[in-house]
């Protein structure tokens, strides 16, 4: 798909141009600034990919095909997400006045990303990875990034911290689970970030809009090396990329103030935007428990298999490209409902939520049919 963009001078030119664009320019206009941020992050990620691929071969961070979860047929570098991390953080460092909350989000995401990079190279146990994520979560809590919905009592704070932890770690791992076919994880991250950015703009949070655009740009810049269907992918995101993107998106959802008209709108909007990955995690978890494949958290974290949403769609006859496009379509459909929800009267809110529940009920039936094939 992207073979014409693979010449070295184009890569290096893109990297240099992206670095130049990443410097703050005295530009006016909301969309001009946002476009420049996204473009800079995208070009930096795109230009860094050849160097990351070389590094992957040198350190042995290579994904070898197997018969469990993987669907690719060739040995492929699996730390492509490192280019996304570098691109996003270079763009953020040059353009953002860091609040204490954003510092906590970025530092905790880097901790999770570095731990996952080590896992991609040397492999870590599920318990060590979970412990690292809990440590990063502690940083978020320390800087005040947590949900705020309970009374100001000791048990209220405890409940808020527990739900925040469940959200951040749950979304991070749910997104990681969806990194199974070419182009899916990065394009879903870009779509989710753009939807969150649209929600930020819709609610007057320009700072959050720019943050989402920088994240989306990094994911888009990775796609030329991964969203290939006629030729093998040049690189995978790896855990380093998928956990970093998942963590950043989940933390941004917690940082934002998505509605001043009550908790239902404030929490329902991001819940709908992330609902595709939430649905996949819940459905596969229930199915695995019913089959007796997992019995505890450790087994759940370590289990791999071809039973995720993209696998089910392919079992129904979709190609990889079609499965990716369908999942992006699902995400956009419920995401647009989220954008409508924050400015709607309460009756419309419940109707939009009901519509989404019906959609996922239909999708559950389709996945169950795929499982019987």
Each residue's pLDDT tens digit, 108-128: 999 999 999 999 998 888 888
Q: H helices then E strands: how many in the chain?
A: 15, 2
Determine the Cα–Cα distance for residues 181 and 190; give it in Å rounded to an integer: 16
- From CA 79, how far away is CA 244, in angstroms rounded? 12
What mean pLDDT comes out for the span 120-149? 90
- Phi/psi for 63 (5° steps) reads -95, 115
For tokens 């309970």, the residue is 150
Dist CA 257 CA 266 (whole Å): 7
What's the average model confidence in pLDDT over 49-68?
A: 84
Structure-block tokens of residue 33: 């600034």
70 or 279, which is more confident? 279
In the chain, where the domains are located: 3-371
**What average pLDDT does this structure show over 39-59?**
94
Mean of pLDDT values over 287-314: 80
CB atoms within 10 A of CB 223: 20
Mean pLDDT score of the chain: 88
**Alpha-carbon span 214 to 38, nearest angstrom:** 5
Q: How far is CA 86 from CA 82, 217, 221, in A?
A: 6, 12, 12
Residue given tokens 């006045």 in the structure block: 97
Per-residue pLDDT at 373: 63
Q: pLDDT tens for residues 6-33? A: 667 788 888 899 999 988 877 777 778 8
Q: Pull the structure tokens for residue 25.
A: 């320019």
Q: Is the pLDDT of residue 74 over 90?
A: no
Higher pLDDT among residues 165 and 306, named by residue: 165
User: For residue 1, what pLDDT is reported?
Assistant: 42
Asked whether the predicted pLDDT for residue 321 surpasses 70, the reply is: yes
pLDDT at 3 over 70: no
The percentage of residues in the chain with a pLDDT greater than 70, rounded to a whole number, is 94
Distance CA 37, CA 51 (A): 22
Give tens-digit pLDDT for 170-223. 999 999 988 888 899 999 999 999 999 999 998 889 889 999 999 999 999 999
Least confident of 12-21, 63-72, 94-103: 63-72
What are the CA-CA distances from residue 266 to residues 6, 150, 170 (Å)? 43, 14, 19
The label of the residue with tokens 């879903």 reads 188
pTM for this structure?
0.92
Token couple for 160: 């808020």
Reduce the DSSP state of residue 62 to 3 states and report it.
strand
């Amino acid at each position: 798909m992207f073979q014409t963009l693979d010449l070295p001078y184009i890569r290096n030119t893109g990297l240099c141009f992206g670095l130049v664009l990443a410097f703050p320019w005295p530009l006016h206009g909301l969309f001009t600034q946002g476009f420049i941020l996204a473009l800079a992050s995208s070009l930096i990620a795109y230009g860094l990919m050849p160097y990351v691929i070389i590094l992957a071969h040198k350190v042995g961070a290579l994904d070898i095909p197997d018969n469990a979860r993987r669907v690719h047929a060739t040995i492929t570098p699996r730390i492509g997400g490192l280019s996304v991390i570098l691109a996003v953080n270079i763009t953020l460092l040059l353009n953002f006045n860091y609040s204490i909350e954003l510092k906590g989000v970025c530092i905790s995401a880097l901790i999770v990303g570095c731990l996952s990079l080590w896992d991609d190279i040397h492999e870590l146990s599920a318990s060590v990875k979970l412990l690292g994520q809990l440590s990063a979560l502690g940083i978020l809590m320390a800087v005040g990034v947590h949900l705020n919905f309970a009374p100001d009592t000791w048990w209220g704070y405890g409940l808020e911290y527990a739900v925040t932890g469940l959200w951040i770690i749950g979304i991070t791992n749910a997104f990681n689970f969806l990194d199974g076919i070419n182009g899916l994880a990065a394009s879903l991250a870009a779509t989710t970030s753009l939807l969150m950015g649209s929600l930020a703009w819709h609610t007057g949070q320009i700072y959050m809009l720019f943050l989402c655009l920088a994240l989306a740009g990094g994911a888009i810049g990775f796609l030329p090396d991964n969203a290939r269907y006629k030729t093998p992918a040049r690189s995978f995101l790896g855990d380093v990329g998928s956990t970093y993107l998942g963590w950043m998106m989940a933390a941004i959802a917690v940082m934002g103030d998505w509605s001043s008209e009550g908790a239902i709108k404030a929490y329902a909007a991001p819940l709908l935007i992330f609902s595709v990955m939430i649905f996949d995690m819940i459905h596969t978890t229930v199915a695995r428990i019913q089959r007796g494949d997992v019995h505890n958290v450790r087994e759940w974290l370590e289990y791999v298999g071809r039973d995720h949403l993209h696998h089910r769609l392919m079992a129904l006859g979709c190609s990889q490209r079609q499965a990716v496009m369908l999942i992006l379509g699902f995400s956009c459909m419920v995401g647009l409902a989220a954008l409508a929800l924050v400015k709607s009267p309460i009756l419309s809110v419940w109707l939009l939520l009901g519509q989404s529940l019906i959609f996922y009920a239909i999708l559950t039936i389709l996945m169950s049919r795929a499982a019987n094939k």
